[in-house]
Structure 1
Amino acid sequence: MSRHRLVYFIFFTLLTFGCKQVAVTPHRSLGIFEQEHLILGNPSEATSDTINYNNFLMAKPQYVLSYSRDRGTPNWVSWHVNKDWLGSASRQNDFRADENLPTGWYRVNGSSYSRSGFDRGHNVPSADRTLSSEANSATFLMTNMVPQAPRNNQETWASLENYTRDLVEQGQEVYVIMGSYGAGGTGSNGTARTIDEGRVTVPSRIWKILLVLPEGQNDLSRVTVNTRVIAIDTPNMNTLNSNWRTYLTTVDAIEAVTGYDLLSSVPEDIQQVIEKRLDTVSTP
C-alpha cells in the first residue's frame, strides 16, 4: 500500500469509528496532510486560528487551503496529483457548504452562484480526485470554489487540468497551487464584483502554478534548478483565449501581485532560479 493510500485509509477508518474530531478540527490532523499537500510551503502563512478569518487554514485529506471569510472563497488551494489519486470513481456533483467552517461564519452553499453568470469553479478539479467517491465528493465543497467565468472554467482551465493529468499518466507527479485575487470578473451575465447578495467576491484574476517531478520519493529533496515549473495568470472573463499557454507567466510575477511566498519550502538558491523562469516546454 502506498504512503498516500495508507494515510487515506487511516483517516476514513477513524471517521467510520466515530472519531469526529479528525473531521471537524483540521489543525489536529494538519501534520498528516501537510506532508503531502503543503510540501512546497504555506504561501500566506495561514493558520487555523479563527482570529485569522481572512487567511484561515483548512486541511483536508484531499487538499489544504487558505480561506477568506469576507470573500467567501479560498485565497489559495494546494494539492498533490499522482497516480494514487486517480481511479475510476464517478463525478459526484454534490456541491454543498463546508460544515468545517467555524461556527457563526457564513457558509456559501451549492445554490449561492445560481443565475449569477459564473460557474462554481473548482480549485482542485473533480477529475484530480477519482480514487474514491469520498475523495471526489470533497472537491465539491464550496470552500474549494470561486466564481469563474464559464469560458475560463470550461475551456481554458479545463485544458490545463487535462494537461496536468496527462503529465501524471506519463510518469510525472505534480504539486499544484491555485488561487485568485482582485475583484470584478465578467461572466455570461456581464461584469460583477460580488454575487450571493454581496457575500461572495468575484475575483478579477485566477492563477495556478504546477511543479513537475518524475515519480519518486522524498519529493522536496528532488527539486532542483532544472525542475519544471508552469505558472499561469488569467483574467476572469468570458472572452478568454481557450489556449492556456497564452497566459504563461512566472512564479515571481504571481508573488509580486499576491504577496505570497509560493515555494517557501524550496531552498532559496533553487527558488531564485525556478521562480523567475518562464516555462518553454509548454509553448506550441
Structure 2
Amino acid sequence: AKGTPEQIVSYEGMTISYNPAKHVPNWVAWELTADETRGKEPRAQNFQANESVAGCADPWDYSYSGYDRGHMAPASDMKWSRNAMKESFYMTNICPQVKSFNSGTWKRLEEKCRTWAQCDSAIVIIAGPVLTDSITESIGDNRVAVPKRFFKIIASPYANPPRGIAFILNNGKNKGGLQEAAVSIDSVESLTGHDFFSTLPDDIERLVESQCRFHYWSTLKPTEK
C-alpha cells in the first residue's frame, strides 16, 4: 500500500515486508512445494531479532504480554533447510497472536496449506496482519502493534486452471472456522491496500484473485506417490 512504512527483507525461504513503525511484518510471502513439506529439519528453538532490520521487535517484547510469538510463515514450512528454519524464527516473521488462535484456527490453516502444496506440487502463500484496522493495543518496550485480524492468501498459479483463495481471521475466536473466514484475494487486497499478484499475467491474476471456492479447496487430497 502506498505510504506504508516498509523494509523488504529477502530470506532463503521467504520475502518479508517489515513495518518499522508497527514492529511487525506488513506481509510475508513464500512458495511451498510438495517436496519442501517433506523436509526433516527439526524445529528451531530460539526467537531472535534481526539486527539489520530497522524497528525489528525483540523476543522479550512478548514476554508476559499474554500473546504468543505467532509465526506468519510457519516453521513447519521451512523444514527443508536449516537456514530457512532459523530465519523463520527472526522476529521479522512474528506477530502477537492470541494463544488459542495461534494453536487453533491459524495452525489448522497452516496444515491445510501443506496438504494443498502436496496436491498442486507448489503454491504461493502470503500472510500478515491487517494493519488498516485501528490498532489499539501494543506490547513490550518497542510497542509492538497487536493486530485485531490476520489474512492469509493461497494461490496455485501452476494448477490447471489456476486458482486462489484467501482468509481473514480474527486474532482470537473465529465462529464458523475456516469456511466462514474464506474470502477472495481481491477482498484482502481491498482491505489491506496491498496488490499482491501484479506480476502475474492479467488473465491469471483476474482468475486467481476473484475466486472464493472453499468447498473446492476443502476437498483436495494429495495424490499418493
Q: TM-score, normalised by structure 2?
A: 0.86
Distance 1:240 1:184 in 2: 19
2:202 is aligned with 1:258: no
CA contact (8 A) 1:62 1:79 kept: yes
C-alpha distance 198-110 of structure 1, shift in aligned 2 (>3 A)? closer
2:70 is aligned with 1:135: no
Describe the SS at the equivalent of 2:153: strand
Partner of 1:244: 178
Residue-by-residue CA offset, 1:246-273 (whole Å, 9 max, x unaligned): 2000111111111111111112233223
Partner of 2:62: 113
Partner of 1:72: 23
Higher relative CO (CA 8 A, sep ≥ 6), structure 1 or 2? 2
Describe the SS at the equivalent of 1:143: helix
C-alpha distance 223-151 of structure 1, shift in aligned 2 (>3 A)? same
Partner of 1:202: 146
CA contact (8 A) 2:126 2:153 kept: yes
Question: What amino acid does structure 2 have at the position aligned with 1:276?
Answer: S
Distance 1:151 1:241 in 2: 13
Question: What amino acid does structure 2 have at the position aligned with 1:210?
Answer: I
Distance 2:175 2:79 in 1: 28
C-alpha distance 279-72 of structure 1, shift in aligned 2 (>3 A)? same
With 135-144 and 195-204 compared, the bigger mean Cα shift is at 195-204
How many residues get paired?
A: 216
Residue-by-residue CA offset, 1:163-213 (whole Å, 9 max, x unaligned): 11122334521110112123568xxxxxx6111146210111100111125
Describe the SS at the equivalent of 1:234: strand
Larger radius of gyration: 1
Question: What amino acid does structure 2 have at the position aligned with 1:163?
Answer: K
**Where do 5+ consecutive residues of structure 1 fail to align?**
1-43, 46-51, 186-191, 214-221
CA contact (8 A) 1:223 1:266 kept: no
**% identity of equivalent residues:** 28
Distance 1:133 1:92 in 2: 8
Partner of 2:211: 277
* Aligned pairs (5 A) from 1:1-284: 44=1, 54-86=5-37, 87-101=39-53, 105-182=54-131, 193-197=137-141, 199-212=143-156, 222=158, 226-237=161-172, 239-241=173-175, 243-280=177-214, 281-283=216-218
Distance 2:130 2:205 in 1: 23
CA contact (8 A) 1:212 1:228 kept: yes
Partner of 1:20: none
Q: TM-score, normalised by structure 1?
A: 0.69
**Where do 5+ consecutive residues of structure 2 fail to align?**
220-225
Question: What amino acid does structure 2 have at the position aligned with 1:263?
Answer: F
C-alpha distance 227-127 of structure 1, shift in aligned 2 (>3 A)? same
Question: What amino acid does structure 2 have at the position aligned with 1:109?
Answer: D
Distance 2:196 2:209 in 1: 9
Residue 229 of structure 1, CA deviation: 0.7
